[in-house]
Amino acid sequence: MQTVPGFSGYVEFSAGFAPRPAITHVLFDFDGTLSLVREGWPEVMVPMFVEMLPKVASETDEQRRQMCLDDIMRLNGKQTIYQMIQLAERIKERGGTPKEPLWVQTRVSAPVG
């Protein structure tokens, strides 16, 4: 057992653990915003966002897809509902009537389930 001054919590170490005194910082990703578990999230969301977003005459499909991806990535790290709110704003900008952001979040989250 190893002790660290000023720390009274419990930490479990794997059998192969070896201290690394040169390490000065560690990042714990408690909410998963940096985790690889969410790595495929944009690939799930972008097609659904593009499907819901009204087309603009002068816009290509790729431009619409890229705008959706940019919005999603800009809000990465925040709760998913903020991405849904952004989608609703984009739909309004284009003269559409968006669904409630919470409805969209439920629909988008269902395939990930």
The confidence band for 76, taking pLDDT boundaries of 50, 70 and 90, is confident
pTM reported for the whole predicted model? 0.63
User: What is the overall mean pLDDT for the chain?
Assistant: 82
d(Cα 47, Cα 65) in Å, to the nearest integer?
Answer: 8
The answer to whether 53 and 66 are in contact (CB under 8 A) is no
Q: How far is CA 99 from the centre of its chain?
A: 20
Task: Give the domain ranges of the chain.
Answer: 36-109
- Rounded to whole angstroms, the Cα distance separating 82 from 88 reads 10
Nearest Cα residue to 91 out of 102, 100, 79, 81: 100
Q: Alpha-carbon dihedral of residues 104, 44, 88, 84, nearest 10 degrees?
A: 70
Are the C-beta atoms of 53 and 68 separated by less than 8 Å?
A: yes
pLDDT-derived band at 31 (thresholds 50, 70, 90) equals low
Tokens encoding 105 = 């979040």
pLDDT of residue 47: 92
